[in-house]
Amino acid sequence: MTQPDQLRLLAVHAHPDDESSKGAATMAKYVAEGVDVLVATCTGGERGSVLNPRMDRPEVWERLPQIRAEEMAAAREVLGVRQEWLGFVDSGLPEGDPLPPLPEGCFALVPVEEAAAPLVALIRRFKPQVVTTYDERGGYPHPDHIKTHDISVHAFEAAGDPDRYPELGEPWQPSKLYYQMSFTLPRTTAIHEALLARGLESPYAEMLANWDPAKDISHRVTTRVPCGEYFDVRDRALIAHATQIDPDGRWFSTPMDLQREVWPTEDYELARSLVDSPTPEDDLFAGIRSEVGVR
């Protein structure tokens, strides 16, 4: 049951594994502090690839939807969060020139008004003060990530309106909406340069060489949550998604102590706020704790 004096965070993600690669250390930090954290996963990841070579086997592909659900269960246990599925079907990542049409019935093709309904219902039931999701580009241009952004903004604005979705429960208005700013140019550059300074190989050289500075969004960061001590929890949650994460891949090549020293935060943009919370911030619940009576 939702407690009136408890802090509650809702993180809205497109696929299983997204919650572990975007904002996972933040969630683990807040769980450790007693915050009730719920992950809403829009799709089952049914059309995802098997990105870990060790898992690229016929028997894995045959059971991929079930395996991804099992991986999600393992990851949420690592993070200490609750999780609910919104029930949509993965759209897949279209490739080719020209791009093929999206598959019929997939999440990205569901009208926003309809696709947001389960999220509105969840917000009204869970009553989060804070919602996190992706920016308007989806973090990267996967159709499901962009649709996740669209329905999150729509639901944030609709959940508190008694005239919208009246059949989905009593209205509840979250106080703050954040966009995750995981991969910014300053962060990637800082880690890259620190690796080179230690005489280590950087996995980011090619990425930085091809980075278009015009597309950098670091100027939009308003909030940096110190959570370096939970980076190991983040990594264990990622590894739980064994079909998606190669434990020998680039993600894990940067020493943990270097990450904590160079960039010990996860970063966000405060996109909507109905409370007084001057930026820059270091807490997603800035401006809310005093209202709730929790420090």
**Which stretches in the chain have pLDDT values below 70?**
1-4, 293-295
- φ, ψ for residue 185 (rounded to 5)? -65, -45
Boundaries of every domain in the chain: 8-183+217-253+264-289
For residue 141, the model assigns a pLDDT of 84
Which pTM was predicted? 0.95
Amino acid at 48: G
Correct CATH for 8-183+217-253+264-289 of 3.40.50.800, 3.40.50.2300, 3.40.50.10320, 3.40.50.920: 3.40.50.10320
Q: In this structure, is the dihedral angle defined by the CA atoms of residues 172, 87, 177 and 263, taken in order, positive or negative? A: positive
For residue 4, the model assigns a pLDDT of 58
Which residues neighbour 79 within 8 Å (Cβ) at sequence distance 6 or greater? 19, 20, 24, 27, 28, 31, 37, 39, 233, 237
Residues 48-96 pLDDT 10s: 889 999 999 999 999 999 999 999 999 999 999 999 999 999 999 888 8
For residue 294, the model assigns a pLDDT of 60
For residue 2, the model assigns a pLDDT of 55
Buried b (16+ CB within 10 A) or exposed e, 95-106: eeeeeeeeeeeb
For residue 240, the model assigns a pLDDT of 97
For residue 1, the model assigns a pLDDT of 43
Tokens encoding 140 = 């990267």
Which residues neighbour 49 within 8 Å (Cβ) at sequence distance 6 or greater? none
For residue 140, the model assigns a pLDDT of 81
